């Protein structure tokens, strides 16, 4: 069945963005995602809506498909700092999803995802505006998570590169 979606007004974007934040806080990421798509239907490069969409998609991490969908949004986000920072968010949330999912290889898999996040946060730190310590705070969170959880460790039998697949553009995508 196909429905023609109804467009929102440009004047309604600020209130729609407030609803996105509210739905994310209420752990309703699919509702937040839908609202972001409504905003992007009328302003395709709206950076705040793109960032919120990426975050709503990372809130839903439980499969490789969701990682790919978040990375598709990342490609539309402007700015070197923002690109590195939000790629770090993708890796960090993937690592957390793997920790919560459990399983035999979840510790090493989470470790490599968190290290990928830390690498991106280090790139973001170099590009951050003066006084913006967000990337440092996220890097420290990843480091503490690894240090406080002995199950999160590298797999000595697996090379780090083996934990990743590459997409068509050559970017690393975590195996699911």
Please write the tens of the pLDDT for every residue from 73-130.
999 999 999 999 999 999 999 999 998 887 777 899 999 999 999 999 999 999 999 9
Q: Average pLDDT, stretch 37-64? A: 94
What is the rounded average pLDDT for all residues in the chain? Answer: 89
Instruction: Let me know whether 156 and 126 are in one domain.
Output: yes
How many CB atoms are closer than 10 A to CB 9?
9
Q: With CA atoms as reference, report the closest residue to 151 among 176, 116, 122, 114.
A: 114
**48 lies in which domain range?**
1-60
174 beta partners: 164
Helical H segments across the chain, by residue range: 13-25, 29-42, 47-58, 64-74, 80-101, 106-127, 134-148
Instruction: Let me know whether 92 and 156 are in one domain.
Output: yes
Instruction: Let me know whether 85 and 170 are in one domain.
Output: yes
Q: What pLDDT does residue 64 have?
A: 62
In a domain? residue 68: no
In a domain? residue 171: yes
Distance of alpha carbon 172 from alpha carbon 99, whole angstroms: 20
The first and second tokens of residue 167, run together, are: 């997409």
Q: Are 7 and 38 in contact (CB under 8 A)?
A: yes
The first and second tokens of residue 89, run together, are: 């968010």
In a domain? residue 74: no
In a domain? residue 111: yes
Q: What pLDDT does residue 159 have?
A: 52
**How many domains is the chain built from?**
2
Mutual angle of helices 29-42 and 13-25, in 10-degree steps: 160
How many CB atoms are closer than 10 A to CB 52?
24
Instruction: Let me know whether 35 and 86 are in one domain.
Output: no
Q: What pLDDT does residue 168 have?
A: 42
In a domain? residue 67: no
In a domain? residue 65: no
């Amino acid at each position: 069945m196909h429905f023609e979606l109804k467009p929102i007004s440009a004047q309604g974007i600020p209130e729609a963005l407030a609803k996105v934040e509210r739905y994310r806080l209420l752990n309703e990421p699919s509702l937040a995602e839908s609202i972001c798509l409504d905003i992007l239907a009328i302003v395709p490069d709206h950076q705040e809506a793109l960032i919120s969409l990426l975050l709503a998609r990372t809130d839903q991490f439980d499969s490789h498909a969701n990682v790919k969908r978040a990375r598709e949004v990342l490609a539309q986000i402007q700015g070197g700092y923002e690109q590195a920072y939000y790629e770090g968010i993708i890796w960090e949330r993937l690592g957390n999803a793997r920790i919560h999912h459990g399983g035999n290889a979840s510790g090493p898999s989470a470790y490599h995802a968190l290290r990928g996040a830390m690498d991106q946060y280090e790139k973001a730190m170099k590009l951050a505006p003066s006084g913006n310590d967000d990337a440092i705070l996220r890097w420290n969170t990843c480091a503490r998570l690894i240090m406080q959880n002995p199950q999160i460790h590298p797999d000595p039998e697996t090379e780090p590169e083996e934990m990743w697949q590459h997409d068509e553009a050559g970017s690393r995508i975590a195996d699911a």
